[in-house]
Structure 1
Amino acid sequence: MTTTTAATTTDTGVSWYVNDAVGPLPDGDFAPLDRAPMRRHATLPGYRPTELHDLPELAARLGVAQLLVKDESVRMDLPSFKILGASWASMHAVAGWLGVDPATLDLPTARTALAGRGVALVAATDGNHGRGVARMARLLGASATILVPEGTATARIEAIASEGARVEVVEGTYDDAIAASAALAGQASLVVSDTSWPGYASVPRAVVEGYSTMFHEIDDAVTAHGYRPPSLVVLQAGVGAFAAAGLRHYRGSAVTVRAAEIRTAVVEPTSAGCLMASARAGRLTEVPGPHRSTMAGLNCGLPSELVWPLVRAGTDVFVAIDDAWTDTAMRALAAVGVVAGESGAAGLGALLAAADQPALAAAVGLDANASVLVVNTEGATDPENYAAVLARG
């Protein structure tokens, strides 16, 4: 084992960094933490709150008082939470193109306004975000071009294409696909990205705001079922948009005084730990590819410039895990009836790693009194690998 004052790496497939830059979250020009996205989501076809599971068997395995798992394996007939951000951001992009206030634009009005005008939505993706954008394009009567990095599972490509989108495979990494999508922006080509770059922030900001619906649903379920509120929130990260949404909800200045009592951990694949690398360096840092983790939705080499200040200020501990921990978590969740894909199981994978590492358990606050929240962000989006992982167990 090698150790520094704040960073630890072991030979057990897990490393972590205790963040010394935790502080008040910057505003970042985000909209207030209200339920406006949730009200709009409620008008979309198939919307309903997803399940929040209380899993005592896994809580006992982790040695904690309560383990809550928000299950996003089916969200509006899609196998991921990503439609929440993709839908809110797509409507913002369309509203900007039409020159209207996004708050006044609903789906039927937008579809009518776009009819016959040749508008296309464009996105780069490792799978789930792109499928969400493709679904929104279909609902809006627009076309969609979705760019994926080489090595993307065939099942994920076919799922995007099933929404009527044109899928292009880009040579290189997810970050190369992002660059290629940005180059496609045009008069009637609206890029809907969950990451930002200089001069492009309003749509990625809307992605983060769209994810807020999930956390409001969690609050409602905790109250309705009488669960203990979370004392530890574990959030997986690619570019950081989803993590930023969770951190805004649980650590933002608008929430109650309990925010100071909630521990937060952000989880990445070992091979694509760009947020941890940035935290260690104290600045945005790129982790070069190839990024070969099976956690495809987290295979990102560069954090989103927009959300990095939020993630840096709101994260207590950054954790990076190898695929073996995710595989173990997928099997553990399957054993209690929860279908989790590779990225979806990452949060639990980090907890299982922490339960095996006393120093990491202490850093994140994993103890007998802890009430822990993780999010299963996707179902089995690569069925072939999912079956293989379960078979190995």
Structure 2
Amino acid sequence: MITTDSSAPCARCAAATVTVHGALPWCPQCEWNLGRFEPARRVPEFGVRVVDRWTHQVAYRLARRQFADLSQRTLDRPMLSAARLVTVTASLLLLAAVVLLAAFGVWLVLYDFPRVTILFGIIALALAFTLRPRLGRLDPTIDVLSRQTAPTLFAVVDQVAAATGAPAPHIIAVDQSVSAYTTSVGIRRRRVLCLGLPLWAVLPPPQRIALLGHELGHFVNGDVRRGLLTQPAFTMLGTTADLIRPVNTATTGVGEILAALVQAIAARVLYLLHLLLVWTGQRDAQRAEYLADELAATAAGSTAVADLMDTLLATDVIDMVIRREARAGRGLNDWHTAVAQARTTSTAQAPLLRQLSIRDEVSLFASHPPTGLRTRMLTARPHREPAVTLTTSQTERIDAELTNQYQRLQRNLGLE
């Protein structure tokens, strides 16, 4: 429920403060107190209240500063930001270290073969293999579709790809999550688009185009998280820290204790460096999300993308409603009706939920900007009309093509 408190006016502009879902009050006009840290509403990141409060405040300031900076620029192409430059440089250095480690391992194996150095060479090669960038593989739980069985869906995806200037995915799949994602897998870097059926099922046609536009935008928005050469910055130091962290076993000798201490210190230092690189990389990842939203607007129009943002704020409600309907034996049409009713009752809360998301969703670990700021970025830019329209008949044909997948989802949710 929305609560307005006139007895506790804003300390900055004297307007009445508001709250929703029991959050600490803030001013809806000037957003005084919006950046407050609420440990009861957040999952602890470090488990130390003082540290979590500080990182939240830093993340809040960074998110607002990035929004202010990007809202004054064009978002028509990836930018060479400081965060991107640091991430790419660190990744190249770490990748070079892996190559040198592998070369050193080969030299140890072949040096004056056979000798005892072969053992150290094998260890070096094994470590280099463990730290290598991953090519990725298809999630075995997804259901891969074909152009023959889902021709309308593939045709619409092709239209959206053309409108956003993105390459079409090689693989389109669905799963049972309330989300969607794109990735590239294998040595040939085959592009994959995966749509979460519970989310896709209840989206109105314009928002379906918006979702496709955003996800396909990741193929051209320069997201550093998806580059094979930039992967080491997000994984290598963390993997190394896990490898050298001492095992919790009883140590008796002085040498064992000292060795465990050195391992623990080294692992902690590497882990902190890993966090710094992740935090830096996520700044550029959030920039890429804003660009993906802009590309989505070129396909679906600004209004549809903004509406999609409001829907994403309610994914927990969507999940709950669909599960309830599935357990009652109700199908796709009933899902649409139930979710539409739930969304109607929350319409009045939407502006405040967007504001509250800025408090709740900021994090140094977040790969996405707060949903409320993403909506503001869209509305702050020139309005775009849709370039791709999903007709009623196309929507019905797509849902008919996914009948088997919907029925499987209904059965699985009904058994939970």
TM-score of the superposed pair, with normalisation by structure 2: 0.24
Q: Give 1 or 2: higher helix fraction.
A: 2
Q: With a CA cutoff of 8 Å and minimum separation of 6, indicate the structure with the bigger relative contact order.
A: 1
Which structure has greater strand proportion? 1
